């Protein structure tokens, strides 16, 4: 069975709501076990054990949170062990044009540095999902879709 890990940081609960919507989408894919963890409860071994890793963070000055960055900084200890795993990102921000895309890209850059596979989207939400403050129904639907798309790619890659 494939394993998808949803790791998130959330101060206000907005990113947490998104994390559980992402997990719901991933659970729709057969043959996938989904684990949701707060970043401060996530170990490097959790990352190694997962086939897909979806990370979520609030947007702080156009970047991911310090807690998520600390996990990623510590992941230098497992560099090379995440290669070929599927990665994706989501964020919540305080408003429009406040750095959500740069936050998503900062997360995806670290995944690419680990040799992970990132599944872009051509039509909309190219880099992942971003919500403004409390995610509305549309944002939660995009989160669900992100989880489903990521888990589907995990299954495709594991079958080859």
Report pLDDT for 84: 97
- Over residues 84-104, the mean pLDDT reads 95
Angstrom CA distances, 77 to 11, 51, 118, 139, stand at: 27, 18, 21, 34
CATH number at residue 141: 3.40.50.360
Q: What is the pLDDT of residue 159?
A: 84
The fraction of the chain above a pLDDT of 90, given in percent, is: 95
Residue 160 has pLDDT above 80, yes or no: no
Instruction: Give the structural domain span for 114.
Output: 2-158
Mean per-residue pLDDT over the chain, rounded: 97
- Count how many domains the chain has: 1
Residues in the chain: 160
> Tens of pLDDT along 11-46?
999 999 999 999 999 999 999 999 999 999 999 999
Q: Which residue has the tokens 């997962």?
A: 50
Q: What is the distance between the alpha carbons of residues 69 and 86, in angstroms, rounded to a whole number?
A: 19
């Amino acid at each position: 069975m494939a394993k998808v890990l949803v790791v998130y940081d959330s101060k206000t609960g907005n990113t947490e709501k998104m994390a559980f919507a992402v997990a719901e989408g991933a659970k729709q894919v057969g043959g996938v076990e989904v684990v949701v963890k707060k970043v401060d409860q996530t170990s490097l071994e959790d990352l190694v054990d997962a086939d897909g890793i979806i990370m979520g963070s609030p947007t702080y000055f156009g970047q991911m949170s310090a807690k998520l960055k600390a996990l990623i900084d510590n992941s230098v200890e497992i560099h090379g062990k995440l290669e070929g795993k599927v990665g994706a990102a989501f964020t919540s921000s305080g408003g429009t044009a406040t750095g959500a895309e740069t936050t998503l890209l900062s997360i995806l850059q670290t995944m690419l540095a680990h040799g992970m596979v990132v599944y872009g989207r051509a039509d909309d939400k190219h880099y992942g999902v971003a919500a403004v403050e409390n995610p509305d129904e549309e944002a939660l639907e995009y989160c669900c879709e992100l989880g489903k798309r990521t888990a589907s790619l995990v299954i495709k890659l594991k079958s080859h």
